[in-house]
Structure 1
Amino acid sequence: MTFADRLFRPVPLSIFCATLFAGALAFAQLERADERGVAPIDGSGSYEVSGVKVDVAARTADQARTGGWREAQRKGWKMLWARVNGKPVENAPGLPDSTLDSISGGIVVEQEQIGPNRYIASLGVLFDRARAGELLGVKGAMRRSAPMLVIPVQWSGGTPVSFESRSEWQKAWARFRSNNSAIDYVRVSGTGADPVLLNAAQTRRPGRGWWRMLLDQYGAADIVVPEVVLFRQWPGGPVIGRFTARHGPDAAVIDQFTLKADSGDGLPAMLDRGIERIDAAYVRALQEGAFKADKSLVIETPVEEVPIEDVLNQLAVAATSTIMVQADTPDAVALRANELALRGMTGVTGVQTGSLALGGTSIFRVSFSGPPTAFRDALVSRGWQVDDVAGGVRIRRGSQPARP
């Protein structure tokens, strides 16, 4: 058999089919991985005002667009001031364009129509939270909830989908700016192990052990499950969405409502409106005290608080040793000298005369901050001769003879 015959030798059909199936499976998995995950936008550092309508005419399209954005900044500032302070938009103070440029963080184009000399659009304006806070008169910190793990579930065609594949509902929650909300949402991107751990079936699992593991892994303390069921009238026609705001591992219903989009192109806008209403329902539940933490989700039992003074006193008592010291006291002067010498030692907190015997051996009760061995070493370093006796030690100066 020549080299050419070996090179073009027919491949068995089974091997060919197995190779083709493995390649198709790898390509499907790669394509499936690309369809998962939507990174949420940054939800910190900005106030957002959406739905600002502008209609500006100018000589050129660029001038009309620039004028429309400046007009959106002026209107957005007044709308934000009215929302924060709870007053009508007419009472909002006006700011010069230079100040608005310094506190504005960006323009979000929701919908726009650009003509040769006219600009019509619906815009959103972002304001820097730190710079705009002083001008808004915001004082103190806004009360926020505990970290809430968000698992959005979309029902379409009778099939629930969470992070198993990329959905319009997941995209809507990814672009939702949660910094304006009192709910501390923990949003995941849906990549890696998220589709396996946070699937639609998990939202109906009653077991608390798995929930506690998920909350600990994602750094959350509770769960919210916003759901939407989509009903399409006909392909490309109106879309009806039935929204449900659920909370906790038992999926308690907080609010329900229905919205409608005129066509499939209006589905993202309808979902955005649904998220705003769901967020408002969650905030209302937080203010009314309905967002109480489930005790079964707590991993550890809280430790009873103990005043720091009591702890320090207990430590001081535990570290203090009481030692019985015997010393020769032939007269009152020797008694006084021994007592003063013991009081002057480092670590001694108190000296009491337990047994007085002038002309004999007196017993002192010494309170020492440390173990008895450290007290014995301190005595030796000061020139005392130390002998162990029953119940304590016996001390004498090196020049003194030992008494029988």
Structure 2
Amino acid sequence: MATAYAALVSLMHVVEQIQHHPRPPVSLDKEQVQSLQENVAFLQDFLELYSHRLCQEYEGGLVVRIADAAHAAEDVIENHIVDQILDQSMSTSGENISSMDHHLYQDLQKVIADMDLIKREVIEIREKMGLGVVQDHQLHGNSVLAGSLSSSTVQGHKQAMVGRDDVLNEILDKLTGQQSDCRIIAIVGMGGIGKTTLARNTYENPLIMEYFDLRVWITVSQEYEVREMLLELVCQKNEERKKALREISDEGLGEMLYKSLCGRRYLIIMDDMWNIEAWDKVKLFFPNNNNECRIMITTRLSNLALQISGSRGLVMNFLEENKSWDLFCKIVFGEEGDCPLEYQEIGRTIAKNCKGLPLSVIMIGGLLPKSEKTRDYWEYIAENLSSIVNFEDNERCLRILYISYQELPIHLKPCFLNMGVHQEDSRIRVSRLINP
């Protein structure tokens, strides 16, 4: 459905560009533009409002036909633009241009007729499903799910730290202890267990901010680039400086890093480490200042922690059941965490089925605050969770994320899928996200 919705948006973008162009490459008939706009708006509204309620018998063929019709209309317009540009480069005959406009009109009329048929079919389906007519204010009603999810995630790392205070205090002790030489601390655990959140809370802790002269955070990931790592370590999020240093060699960047760290009490956090090679490439540029400098890594691999730090590291375990429930309540009901009595039994079932994985609790909890506050909806979430509770940890996490994706409003699904074309942990220009 996300593909169909994206196709409709793309079509209207092309039409609007032609309409507002000072010298449009083709001439679109006003009545055809109006028909296209009305049909597209109707189909967009239908997908936005009812995508989550369509039965499978309707979903497959109907959605494909909507996407095909939108693609066909866009192809007709773009093909005629190409033909007209080529014709103008070879001839200035007004008769040729008039003939091409006539062909464009005919081809578009066929596509509009197809859309009219789909529109009538959608009206019949809507009546058959008893969906009726909805009020305008319901148009984006489902988008609160996305809003609640993002707000719960943004509300702070403190929420996600429920049940981890003892671990955080242990790390603070290790970082600010009196050991004078360079110390490496590893945080180990599976994906979604809260390693990065714990590291981030440590990094932003007031005690740490005051204790260290310099703090640097970099994300390494599976597919790392040594040059990018060095640039990040040297420039510390300063994009202008990063541009200025692009031409400097890796050795030159390493030397700059070494000099910037020399004589200072520093903390470097290397998040999401996957292999020893990434560490070997940069460790030479971390001076041992004998003044309590610290390096912290997060990784899923205990053997990597052993190679880098000389120990198995601080292993993060699953949350206990009562701590999962506390975290769930804080996300769903705010800092107070007061769950109404009628929701406690089903809420505890949901929290329990997250199997102590903080990411699962956060993602599922993020769906509930502004969604349908009915027991039926909570039971629907609990049933979906119970069907995946016995999967392996990573697979279970992915399926819970998929539930969150399914609950996104249709107009946000293409935005989410678009993120998949970008490299992991890369910085993305806003213009690349908002411009087709």
TM-score normalised by structure 1 residue count: 0.22
Instruction: Considering fraction of residues, name the structure with more helix.
Output: 2
Larger radius of gyration: 1
Greater RCO (CA < 8 Å, at least 6 residues apart): 2
TM-score, L = length of structure 2: 0.21
